[in-house]
Amino acid sequence: RPRLSPPVRRPDARTPGLGLRPAVLSYVAGIAWFLALVFPPLTQRTYMSENAMGSTMVEEQFAGGDRARAFARDFAAHRKKSGALPVAWLERTMRSVGLEVYTQSFSRKLPFPDETHERYMVSGTNVYGILRAPRAASTESLVLTVPCGSDSTNSQAVGLLLALAAHFRGQIYWAKDIIFLVTEHDLLGTEAWLEAYHDVNVTGMQSSPLQGRAGAIQAALALELSSDVVTSLDVAVEGLNGQLPNLDLLNLFQTFCQKGGLLCTLQGKLQPQDWTSLDGPLQGLQTLLLMVLRQASGRPHGSHGLFLRYRVEALTLRGINSFRQYKYDLVAVGKALEGMFRKLNHLLERLHQSFFLYLLPALSRFVSIGLYMPAAGFLLLVLGLKISSLHEAEVGVEEPGGAPGPSVPLPPSQGVGLASLVAPLLISQAMGLALYVLPVLGQHVATQHFPVAEAEAVVLTLLAIYAAGLALPHNTHRPLSCRVVSTQAPDRGWMALKLVALIYLALQLGCIVLTNFSLGFLLATTMVPAAALAKPHGPRTLYAALLVLTSPAATLLGSLLLWRELQEAPLSLAEGWQLFLAALAQGVLEHHTYGALLFPLLSLGLYPCWLLFWNVLFWK
């Protein structure tokens, strides 16, 4: 007679330890996967995917170093004399080298004064010259642009641009138009020109229409030089809202730097030479973290960042004068640019063969999206485990040894109505809407009643509204308690609210990771543990401290401190606080000026979601 084994008792989903161990393992796996990205099994060598740019067998003939320096001296003298961009001199010089020259005037009133660049009412003029392709119709074009700001003249870059224009004018192999663009007021001038070129207006910029146009822009290079002699060329790839150029364009830059013997850097860091030992991956980890922090900010780190919005692959090249053992003149930089333009001239279609989503631990190595996405997936799995655990605790599990079936419905007094969750959801979302709208709209009212400037009023209003959200638990308990709390199921109220908050956070982080991995990973790293642990029982003080330290504002402050630490320029807490206040003002300004999405994402999405967990923590 067969012996019947005793039924296996399943653990109750409401057991406190259920799901905690898998959640911890999943979180540790996500962090470990990200740290492992710098090791050779996961990081790969870069390679050229576009066949038209696979060979560098072109002979660069640029030898206009002296002419470039002469142009730079004349440009600096005329700029110093006029106090603004010497438009008339640029027009004469561009015409003298054989370009079609046009100008564009623009103006922009900022939402509040930009204290970093000391500007409010901005007006300027862009100058650009077009070199028509002698061997093809004007259907495609390339752009070489030099931004000129009020704090940096960028004279050497203007001189090199004019010298390259004169050299290119004498060649007959161009199949694409080449636009030589000099913009005023840095990114503002670039945005005004791009909007007018593509006949759109997405930022409220007021500008005159362009009188001359070329073909569809295939690629663009932005040039910034600090002196006549450079020791290295640093490349910036991060664009607006975390967009990145096609990896083949970066590979092309590295190839011609190697061909000309130029020292090229990424994030200001030299490339590791030995990836077999631990020193190479550790140095690559610093570069990778710097790229993640810059991409997560959503700021365009150069004029190229605005081109990416219009599906134009672009890079910013910055000449650095720091390493004394390496010295290169403008001829070497000009030859590298000439080689890049000649290879881009061979393109038959837009760059599309290589990756658009990647991370860079070094210029010679990259991590593709298929290899870095599991790191974020493990972190989001923590939220999935908590959602499943809370859902099972809400609906109950099947009885041990019994057949599966629908659970017995609770009496009406124990049910959790959806109307009971409306109050915290609406109040939290209203606080986020106030955080987004009131700082800019109420700046004039604040300046009339308090002795502060407009920019200070915006930042102080941001901090005041953000801190006011901490008082929300005292305001939302009453409408919740009258519908949810019962003597037989006292925990169902906060569990239902936390379930909604976890789903809300998981959806937001999932969408962010798909569009800007760096931002989504940073937010998931900080917010997921506090969200998973938040509950009104246990060490509430510890949970409250963890929630505050992982809030969106604290994440921003910690990112700034980590950024300066990786740049080997650490800050004190007082200096970090001042940098944090400046970053708040710049974030709001860049959203209203260029369309950066970090500020509305935090204020309208993640901050209200964080307030829901704060309500859960202080549930009564």
Domain residue extents for the chain:
19-40+372-394+419-479+491-618, 51-363
Higher pLDDT, 152 or 514: 514
pLDDT tier at 301, thresholds 50, 70, 90: very high
pLDDT averaged over every residue in the chain:
85
pLDDT tier at 490, thresholds 50, 70, 90: low
pLDDT digits (tens, 9 = 90+) for 356-388: 999 999 998 999 999 999 999 999 999 999 998
> For residue 375, which phi and psi values (nearest 5 degrees)?
-60, -45
Q: Contact at 8 Å (CB) between 590 and 188?
A: no
Instruction: Name the pTM for this structure.
Output: 0.89
pLDDT digits (tens, 9 = 90+) for 530-543: 999 988 888 888 99
pLDDT digits (tens, 9 = 90+) for 51-109: 777 666 677 888 888 999 999 999 999 998 888 899 999 999 999 999 999 999 999 98
User: Mean pLDDT, to the nearest integer, of 465-491?
Assistant: 60
One-letter identity of residue 499: L
Q: Contact at 8 Å (CB) between 357 and 518?
A: no
508 has a pLDDT exceeding 90 = yes
437 has a pLDDT exceeding 90 = yes
Poorest-confidence range of 57-71, 178-192, 200-214?
Answer: 57-71
| Sign of the torsion formed by the C-alpha atoms of 41, 42, 46 and 52 | positive
Which pLDDT score, from 0 to 100, does residue 342 have? 92
Poorest-confidence range of 297-311, 326-340, 442-456, 486-500?
Answer: 486-500
414 has a pLDDT exceeding 60 = no
The segment with the largest mean pLDDT, out of 180-184, 466-470, 569-573, is 180-184
pLDDT tier at 403, thresholds 50, 70, 90: very low
Strand partners, 130: 100, 179
412 has a pLDDT exceeding 50 = no
Task: Quote the CA–CA distance of 70 and 79 in Å, as a whole number.
Answer: 14
442 has a pLDDT exceeding 90 = no
pLDDT digits (tens, 9 = 90+) for 242-283: 999 999 999 999 999 888 888 899 988 888 888 888 888 999
Task: List Cα–Cα distances, 344 to 54, 174, 314, 338, in angstroms.
Answer: 11, 10, 12, 10
Q: Contact at 8 Å (CB) between 445 and 407?
A: no
Which pLDDT score, from 0 to 100, does residue 410 have? 45
pLDDT digits (tens, 9 = 90+) for 209-232: 999 999 899 999 999 998 888 888
pLDDT tier at 405, thresholds 50, 70, 90: very low
* Closest CA relative to residue 197, chosen from 184, 187, 211: 211
123 has a pLDDT exceeding 60 = yes
**What DSSP element (H or E) covers 207?**
strand 206-207
Which pLDDT score, from 0 to 100, does residue 491 have? 66
Task: Quote the CA–CA distance of 461 and 469 in Å, as a whole number.
Answer: 13
Task: Quote the CA–CA distance of 169 and 331 in Å, as a whole number.
Answer: 17
Higher pLDDT, 601 or 323: 601
pLDDT tier at 341, thresholds 50, 70, 90: very high
pLDDT tier at 320, thresholds 50, 70, 90: confident
% of the chain with per-residue pLDDT over 90: 55
User: Mean pLDDT, to the nearest integer, of 194-208?
Assistant: 91
User: Mean pLDDT, to the nearest integer, of 164-182?
Assistant: 93
Which pLDDT score, from 0 to 100, does residue 198 have? 93
% of the chain with per-residue pLDDT over 70: 88
Task: List Cα–Cα distances, 187 to 181, 205, 303, in angstroms.
Answer: 13, 12, 6
- Inter-axis angle of helices 422-441 and 454-468, nearest 10: 170
Which pLDDT score, from 0 to 100, does residue 299 have? 92
Cβ count within 10 A of residue 95:
12
8 has a pLDDT exceeding 90 = no
User: Mean pLDDT, to the nearest integer, of 378-402?
Assistant: 74
User: Mean pLDDT, to the nearest integer, of 494-517?
Assistant: 93
Query: H helices within 298-368, ranges in order?
Result: 304-307, 330-344
CATH number of 51-363: 3.40.630.10
Which pLDDT score, from 0 to 100, does residue 402 have? 43
**What DSSP element (H or E) covers 183?**
strand 177-184
